[in-house]
Structure 1
C-alpha cells in the first residue's frame, strides 16, 4: 500500500496539471509531481511534536486509497471533461492524434516503464529512498511530456530520450549493496549462583567493571561455615594421632607393666596352690572342713586363670598392632579429610569469584540482603571481544562454514571488522524446512555467531551489527 499510494499520488498530480488552462511550466509540473509523490510521508512532521502520535499515525490514512479521491476534489478536476488513459483531455490540443500504431507503442512503453520501476523496487527490498519520490514524481510527467512533444516533434527522438531517462531512474533505484545477515553484538553470559542462603556482606567490584578470572565479586557471610571447617580440622587431627599410635605399637613401659602383672599372677598362683595342698593334708587328719578344702582349690584355679590372662596381654603387647586396625585407622583418617575438604569447598563458595575474564554485567542482590539457594548473585559477560549473533538467510547457509572469515559492520562505526564464524546452526531458527515449500524455504533463517577480533573489545553488547554474506 505504501508503494501504491506514492505512485498514484504522483500520477494523479501529473494528470491534473496536464489539463488545459493550467499555466504551469515543465519545471513547475516536475516540482508538483515530486511533492505529490512524497506527500504521503508528511506524517514525519508529527515526530518533532509528539513521537507517540507519530507512531500512531505513521502510514495510516494518508497511505490509503481513501485519500486519492480527495486529490481530485482538492485539485478541482472537472468531471464533465473527459480525460484519456494517460491524463490528456480530449480538447487539450488541436493537433491530430498520432497513428494508432504509434499510440499503441507509446502506451506499451509506458506500461513497461512502470513495470520496470516496480520490479526495481521489489529487488531493492522496498526500502524508502529518495529515488522513490523522484521516480513516482518524474515518471508520469516524463511520459506526459513525451506524448505532447511527440505530436509536435519527431516520435523517434523523444522515444529515445524517454528510454535514456527511464533507464537512468531505474538504475538509480537498483540496490547494489551486498546481502547482509542482521543481528546484534553479544558476549557469553555467565550466571554465578549461590549454593547457600547467606547475607551479602561485601560487593568489592562495581557493575560494568572489567574483571579477570579469580576476581572477588560478591562476599557472603562465612562465620558459621568457618566453625564447621574448624571442627572438621579437629577430627582430622584426632584420627591422625590414633593412626600414628597404632603404627608405633605399645610403649616399653606398657610391656614392663604387663610382665610385672604376669609375675604377680604367678605368685598368687603359688600361694593358692600351697594353701590348697596344706588343706588337703589337714583334711586327712580332720583338722579342716571339706568346705575349706574346696574353697582353697577354687582360689588356686582362679589364680591360674588370672595368670593366663596376664600372659596373653603381655603376648599381645609384644606382637604389636594388627594390620587390620591400622587399615581401619587409615580409612577413618581419609573420611575425616574428605569432610574437611567438603566444608572448605562450601566456605570457598561463599566468596563469589569471576570464573572467566570479562565484564561484570549486573549484581542482582544488594548489600545486606540474604540470597536464596540457586539464585544468581553476579552476571558476567565473558570474553574479551564480542561476537555478532546474526540470522543467516537460507540461500546463503550452504556457503558458510565454521572458521570462515566474513566482513562485520557495526552501527555507528565506519570501520569494518574481519570476523570468524565460530558456530552456525544446522537447524532453522523458527520453522523446520520440511514444513515449507521451495519458495517459502528461502525465508528461513539460521542462527550464527561470528567472533570479532580483539580490536573490537571495547564495543558494548546489544549494538546492531550486519555481516556480509559470501
Structure 2
C-alpha cells in the first residue's frame, strides 16, 4: 500500500470514530458548573470557617459563623421580656397572693365580730330600756353602731370576693397580647442569631471559600461555594435538522479530552427557540448558523472542568 493510500485510510478511520452510529457529526458543547454559593443574610465579622477548599461536607454540617455581638444580647433581652410578660399574665389570671388573701379574710372576720358585738350591746340595752334604765337617745346611738358595723362587714366581704377573682378581662387580654409580642420578639432574635451560623444545605464538594477568619463579610456576600451532586451539566447546540432526534430524556454519549472512552448523559432540556451559534464554539462549518440550545446531565459522577469542550453523539440504539 502506498503512503498516500495509508494516509487516506487513517483519515477515514478518524472521521468514522468522530461520528455517531448513523454517521452524524458530533454536536459541539462545553461543560458548565452551577455551584451553590452560601451567604449570610446579615453582615458580620467571620469568626469560624469549618470547611476548606477542595474538601467534602455533609448535609447539615457547619460551614461558617459570623460574630454575634449584637444578636446574642438581643436574644437574652427577648427571653427576659417573654418571662416577665408570662409572669404578669399568670399573676392576673390567679388573683391576689395567698398572704394578701389572708389579710382580706382577717378584715372580714374582724368586721363580723364587731357587728356581733354591736348587736349584742343593742339587745342588752333594749332590755334595760324597757325597764326605764336606758334613754331612747342611747338606743339610737347603739342602732347606728350596728348599722355601721354591718356596712363595714359588707365592705370587707366585697373586698375579699374581689381579691379572690382574677384580673379584669381587659387586663388579662392585654397581658396575653404582651406575651405574644414577647414570643414574636424572641423568635425574631433567634432567627437573626441563626442567620449568622450557616450549615451545608446538602452534601457537597467545597469548590471555594472567599473570606478568611477575621474579615468583614457584607450581608448577602457568598462565603463558601459548594458543588452538590447534579451541579455539573453539559450545554450543547442542536441544528434544526437534528432537533427531532434530541429530546428530553434522550441518552447521549459525551467525548472530551481526558475522558477516555467518554461517558453517557441524559438530555434534560431543549430550547424552544433558535439562536445563533455562540462564539465559544465557532468554526468554519457552523459559523452564524441557527441552533437550539440544549442541556444534559451526566449519568454518573465525572470530574469535569468548567468550560471544557465536549462532543455529543446520540447513544447507539436510541
Report the TM-score, using the length of structure 1 for normalisation. Answer: 0.49
The aligned runs of 1:70-469 (5 Å cut-off) are: 177=19, 178-262=24-108, 310-321=156-167, 325-383=171-229, 386-429=232-275, 443-456=289-302, 458-469=303-314
Change over 3 Å in CA distance of 1:443–1:260 after alignment to 2: same
Count of aligned pairs: 277
Q: Quick one: distance in 2 between partners of 1:411 and 1:170?
A: 19
Higher strand share: 2
SS of 2:34's equivalent?
strand
Alpha-carbon contact 2:94-2:165 (below 8 Å) kept: no
Deviation string 1:143-184 (CA, Å, 9 cap, x unpaired) is: xxxxxxxxxxxxxxxxxxxxxxxxx99979977723333222
Change over 3 Å in CA distance of 1:402–1:229 after alignment to 2: same
Q: Quick one: distance in 1 between partners of 2:293 and 2:149?
A: 94
How far does residue 315 in structure 1 lie from its aligned partner after superposition?
1.7
SS of 2:243's equivalent?
helix
How far does residue 199 in structure 1 lie from its aligned partner after superposition?
0.7
5+ long unaligned stretches in structure 1: 1-26, 32-129, 132-167, 275-279, 283-296, 432-439
Change over 3 Å in CA distance of 1:259–1:369 after alignment to 2: same
SS of 1:255's equivalent?
helix
How far does residue 214 in structure 1 lie from its aligned partner after superposition?
1.8
Report the TM-score, using the length of structure 2 for normalisation. Answer: 0.69
SS of 1:312's equivalent?
helix
Change over 3 Å in CA distance of 1:313–1:445 after alignment to 2: farther
Q: For the pair shown, which has the larger CA radius of gyration, 1 or 2?
A: 1
How far does residue 378 in structure 1 lie from its aligned partner after superposition?
1.9
SS of 1:205's equivalent?
coil
Q: Quick one: distance in 2 between partners of 1:430 and 1:270?
A: 110
Alpha-carbon contact 1:181-1:466 (below 8 Å) kept: yes
Change over 3 Å in CA distance of 1:170–1:350 after alignment to 2: closer
5+ long unaligned stretches in structure 2: 122-135, 139-143, 278-285
How far does residue 232 in structure 1 lie from its aligned partner after superposition?
1.5
How far does residue 216 in structure 1 lie from its aligned partner after superposition?
2.0
Deviation string 1:234-277 (CA, Å, 9 cap, x unpaired) is: 22222333333344444443333223334566789999xx9xxx
Q: Quick one: distance in 2 between partners of 1:444 and 1:268?
A: 110
SS of 1:362's equivalent?
strand
How far does residue 314 in structure 1 lie from its aligned partner after superposition?
1.7
Higher helix share: 1
SS of 1:223's equivalent?
coil
Deviation string 1:269-290 (CA, Å, 9 cap, x unpaired) is: 999xx9xxxxx969xxxxxxxx
Deviation string 1:402-454 (CA, Å, 9 cap, x unpaired) is: 222111223222222221122222233559xxxxxxxx9x9323332211123
SS of 2:211's equivalent?
coil
